[in-house]
Structure 1
Amino acid sequence: MDKESKNNNVVQYPNLNKVLLEKGTDMMMKQKYKDALALFDQLIELDEKQADALVGSVVCCIELGQLVEAKKRCKEILFLGIGDYFDILNIYLSILMQLEEYQEITDTIEAIYSENNVPGTYSESFDQLLSIAKKMISEGNERKSNPSSGIESSLLEKLNNEKNTELQWSIIQQLNHLDDEEVIEVFKDFVEKKENDPVLKSFVLQMLHSKGCEDTVLVEKLGKSLEVNLKDLQDVFQMAFPHHVITHLKNTIEQKNPTLFEQTTQLWWHYLLVIYPFVPSGKDAKTWAAALHAAANELNGFQTDMEQIAKAYGVERKSITIYCDKILDMEKYAIKGMKF
């Protein structure tokens, strides 16, 4: 029986697509990537053009180390023209970088330049990726004589000298797959440098924790400093308080405006990653939820009635304004192509 016939004979539960997407996203947030991938794949069986499920499945494959499969899926998304083309292309190039497929990076970017008008927000990133790929190709003979150290040392050097956050993120993802003491030392140095991007610092901190590093590092962010024992770090996506905030958002706006609910959730995780390992007070989840609601309205250009939002969440308007300003201020650290 073919796929279409099977789907025609299946009695679907009401809102099944929505439930699968929510559960898959929740599993991904909890870093249960195998479970998340299974849920996304179920949804793709029902709707092969569901953008969030397709992109989510790529992210899960990357996190599970299934880079060849991630590349295949990402290429299919690009071919189908689903989602934001240049965001998906950014992910695709990141996968190629991790696979060390430098010639394909070069061919892809040069083809894009010959056929498309690349938005200015992406052209600088693509130019630098192209430069890295060409350099790695030109150093091919040297790497053949000592492949591991050649690739690794070049990437370590790039991370130390690179200023573009999108490229730094691509290099960090590739280095994270290497199990080497020098990588750990460079990662520790990265989180201690005051000028490095706060979101990238958060991901590198969690990578160091996952690698079993038990050292103490000094983290400086947003004018604050904190000595952190890497062994004792708690995953930001596993903390209870952030999920309490999301529960208040879910209960207040999800049914009325699911798109706004998704945006507020993204805003919240981004804010937490900017300030991590510092965390907000765990006593005012409703106020943070209200502030996220107001901030999402502001970013969408909607008129914001603070009194109405305060009433909906049962909190004071003054506190909402203070927290809303904090959230909006952190949006300057957004990284293209990164979703939470």
Structure 2
Amino acid sequence: MKKKKWTKKGNVFIFPGTSEELVRKGREALEKKDYDQAVLHLQEALQYPLNEEDDVKMALLLALYESGQYDQALSLCKDMLNEGVGEYVDVLDVYILILMQQKQYEEIYATLSALIEEKQLPEEKRENFEQLLLLSKKMKESPPVEEKSLFAGSESLRERTIILMELVNQNIRPYKKELERLLKDPQTHPFVQTLILNVLKEHGVEQPTEVRKFYFHKQVVPAVLKDAFESDYFQEVIRRLEEQLGQTNPVLLEQARECVKRHFFLLYPFDPEGVSSESWAEASLLLVQSYYEDGWLNEEKLPKEISRSLALIKELDEISSPIM
């Protein structure tokens, strides 16, 4: 029987397979969009010798970016670019994206100018980077924007709604930082966050923007976002309700449809995770039916997936009822 080879790190012997297990956990967390855990596992894995170090560093870079740890992500990008680790253009893409997010236009211009001048970019990427070069030049030469405060903090939800609706036809540059801050603050009312995204979308904002809402978190480009009711998940939920009620109870169908629209407006730009559209449709229908039969809904007997859907739907319903 072949003996396992132990690895020594300092004065500590490392159990065989430790690094591989950390990499596996890190990638699994990355797939589940649990980016903070992915960062922890992958950073620890890189403390040990790895055959796939390049791939692990690229995975860590994506996890750092998605978790909003931009300073660490930039530092890792620079190391990878200098050491030739990973696919150069892929790392450069992330590097420029983070610099754009951080509004470091001088650095973008200096980096891309040198690469284009030295003809170090593949032809298929050249046009894209040339456009980014022009944009960074324009932004770094633009006069600084005088920031203004959009909200005093004492406004009601209705007042904030009116202010944001009026902002669609105004210059948003003085308020952009405040809007971005509200989007990544999970304490901001989700209805307000959706309105902010719609404002940024209407103004064609192409810079990546961080959104934290409920337990969801991701980077979005407002200009390319679908509308709130255009997601495949939403359309599938509506289709299932129409199949079930279209011919038998059109009044209940309309109520269920409006209920689903309220909830998805609050969730936007996210879709429910871990539950099927069928379970969401069924849970939505059960909630609407319970309005008419108080105490009729017996949640203990529901399948787990429908029960999970119903729990989030109830939370959304409590938020949406006074304002929609």
Provide closer, same or farther for how the CA distance between residues 177 and 204 of structure 1 changes in structure 2, counting only shifts above 3 A.
closer
Distance (Å, rounded) in 2 between the aligned partners of 1:80 and 1:118: 17
Shift of the 233–205 alpha-carbon distance from structure 1 to 2, 3 Å rule, reads: farther
Give the Å deviation of 1:134.
Answer: 1.3
In the alignment, which residue of structure 2 is the partner of 1:37?
Answer: 39
Q: 1:229 aligns with which of 264, 279, 284?
A: 264
Instruction: State the aligned residue count.
Output: 212
User: Residue deviations 1:21-76, cap 9 Å, x none?
Assistant: 11011122333323221211111111377123212222232233321111001111
- The residue number in structure 1 matching 2:95 is 92
Aligned to 2:197: 187
Equivalent position of 1:73 in the other structure = 76
Pair 128,174 (structure 1): closer, same or farther in 2 beyond 3 Å: farther
Aligned to 2:13, the other structure's residue is in SS state coil
Match of 2:147 in 1: 146
Distance in 2 (CA, whole Å) between partners of 1:9 and 1:35 is 27
Q: How many Å separate the matches in 1 of 2:193 and 2:69? A: 21
Q: 1:50 aligns with which of 49, 53, 73?
A: 53
Counterpart amino acid of 1:71?
Answer: L
Shift of 1:208: 6.1
Q: Which amino acid is the alignment partner of residue 197 of structure 2?
A: F
- When the two chains are superposed, the root-mean-square deviation of aligned CA atoms in Å is 4.8
Query: Equivalences for 1:223-262 in 2 at 5 Å?
Result: 227=261, 229-231=264-266, 238-239=273-274
Mapped partners of 2:125, 2:192: distance in 1: 31
Deviations for 1:64-123, whole angstroms, at most 9, x for unmatched residues? Answer: 332111100111111111111000000000111111100000000111112234223322
TM-score, structure 1 normalization = 0.48
Secondary structure of the residue that 1:68 maps to in structure 2? helix
Query: Could you say if the C-alpha distance between residues 103 and 234 of structure 1 is closer, same or farther in structure 2, counting changes exceeding 3 Å?
Result: closer
1:103 aligns with 2:109: no
The 3-state SS of whatever aligns with 1:39 is helix
Q: Higher relative CO (CA 8 A, sep ≥ 6), structure 1 or 2?
A: 1
Within 5 Å, give how 1:1-340 maps onto structure 2. 7=9, 9-47=11-49, 50-139=53-142, 141-143=143-145, 145-146=146-147, 153=173, 177=184, 184-185=194-195, 187-188=197-198, 210=216, 217-219=228-230, 227=261, 229-231=264-266, 238-239=273-274
**Cα offset, 1:187, TM superposition:** 3.0
**TM-score in terms of structure 2 length:** 0.50
Q: Deviations over 1:189-235 (max 9, x none)?
A: 7889xxx9xxx9xx999866648xxxx9321669x686561445796
Give 1 or 2: higher helix fraction: 1
Percent of matched pairs sharing the same residue: 22
What CA distance in whole angstroms lies between the structure 1 residues aligned with 2:56 and 2:172? 33
Larger Rg: 2
Please give the alpha-carbon distance, in whole angstroms, between the structure 1 residues aligned to 2:133 and 2:209.
Answer: 24
Q: Return 229-238 or 88-97, whichever deviates more.
A: 229-238
Shift of residue 129, structure 1, vs aligned partner: 1.5
Change beyond 3 A, Cα 1:105–1:45: same
- Aligned-residue offset at 1:279: 8.7
1:218-263: per-residue Cα shift (whole Å, max 9, x none)?
21669x686561445796694267xxxxxxxxxxxxxxxxxxxxxx
Are the equivalent residues in 2 in contact too, given 1:105–1:130 (CA < 8 A)?
yes
